Amino acid sequence: MIWLWAALATWAGATALNVALAGSALAGRRAVRLAIPALFGATLMVLWEGAVRGLKVSPVILPPPSAIGARIAADLPLLWTDFVQTIVKGALPGYAIGCGAAVLVAVLIDRSPFLQRGLLPVGNFVAALPVVGIAPILVMWFGFDWQSKAAVVVVMVFFPVLVNMVAGLAATDRMQRDLMATWSASYWQGLAKLRLPAALPFLFNGLKIATTLALIGAIVAEFFGSPTRGMGFRISTAVGQLALDLVWAEIAVAALTGSAFYGLVALIERGLTFWHPSQRARA
């Protein structure tokens, strides 16, 4: 019981501290802005640990964070092979191919308003569909190894990026395009110097959505058949063996990878679209 009370006390204390910090004059500082969510996250961990120990929850239902941490430390090589199989071989090539193809298609159909009017509603519709459902079909076509996972990722990321890129290419206004015309810029010059840069904020919007989709696609595709390694494979077999600490270890790796991937794309975005109001407001 003492664990539970200690955790609840920590939670109350940290919340009070957070409220005080957020209300104080320090709240504008960068360090404080990072400290508040970090404190909140740490509190959640303490609460989790305390609740599991205090209420004597069986590790088969919910292992405490300390056990998960120990499992990560003990099984690093295993986690690394799964990471390579799922992320490096499955998700990343799929992400690159899918996003590249979507950008290319967007540029190609850009010259034809007819195709745009036809493809956009279809693309929007497909983007809302449960695309993961094609995973079993692609696993059948491309086999159990990483090729089928990459294919699922390609299909999953293609439409969100396409829709965003097409919207981005339409984002310049008439005045800017007229200016390019008065400089007698060719179509390709106008594309390279005005419309592609103007499309970047939209493109990155799509790319950021696609990071999560890529991980989801690669992991879920492994539920339908995979070699004996990979994060999705490990999760589904470890659940069967009730080795929940290993499942949580995989989830922690997936979460870290997902956040890092998203953060990386966001960093590149900040570097390339520094001129956009949404980036300047933050600085």
Does 12 help bind other proteins (rule: CB under 8 A)? no
Between 85 and 211, CB nearer to other proteins:
211
181 CA to centre of own chain:
39
List binders of other proteins among 177-216 (CB under 8 A): 211-212, 215-216
Does 129 help bind other proteins (rule: CB under 8 A)? yes
Q: Please choose, from the candidates 250, 255, 245, the residue with its C-alpha nearest in 3D space to the C-alpha of residue 71.
A: 245
* 34/31 Cα distance (integer angstroms): 5
* 161/274 Cα distance (integer angstroms): 21
* Shortest Å distance, C-beta 212 to other proteins: 6
Does 119 help bind other proteins (rule: CB under 8 A)? yes
* Shortest Å distance, C-beta 33 to other proteins: 7
* 241/103 Cα distance (integer angstroms): 43
Q: Indicate which single residue of 255, 267, 268, 275 sits in contact with other proteins (rule: CB under 8 A).
A: 255
* 190/196 Cα distance (integer angstroms): 9
Contacts of 86 by beta carbon, 8 Å cutoff, 6+ apart: 149, 218, 219, 222, 230, 231, 232
Q: Where are the alpha helices (DSSP H) in 87-195?
A: 92-109, 113-127, 135-142, 146-169, 174-182, 187-190
Helices 76-83 and 65-74: crossing angle in degrees, nearest 10, is: 80
Q: Indicate which single residue of 3, 11, 142, 223 sits in contact with other proteins (rule: CB under 8 A).
A: 223
Q: Indicate which single residue of 204, 232, 245, 249 sits in contact with other proteins (rule: CB under 8 A).
A: 232
Stretch binding other proteins (CB under 8 A), from 35-43, 74-82, 163-171, 193-201: 35-43
List binders of other proteins among 51-110 (CB under 8 A): 60-62
Answer whether 273's CB lies under 8 Å from 279's CB.
yes
Instruction: List residues near other proteins by CB under 8 A.
Output: 15, 18-19, 21-23, 27, 33, 36-37, 39-41, 44, 60-62, 114-119, 121-122, 125, 128-130, 132-134, 136-137, 139-141, 211-212, 215-216, 219-220, 223-225, 231-232, 235-236, 239, 242, 244, 247-248, 250-251, 254-255, 258-259, 261-262
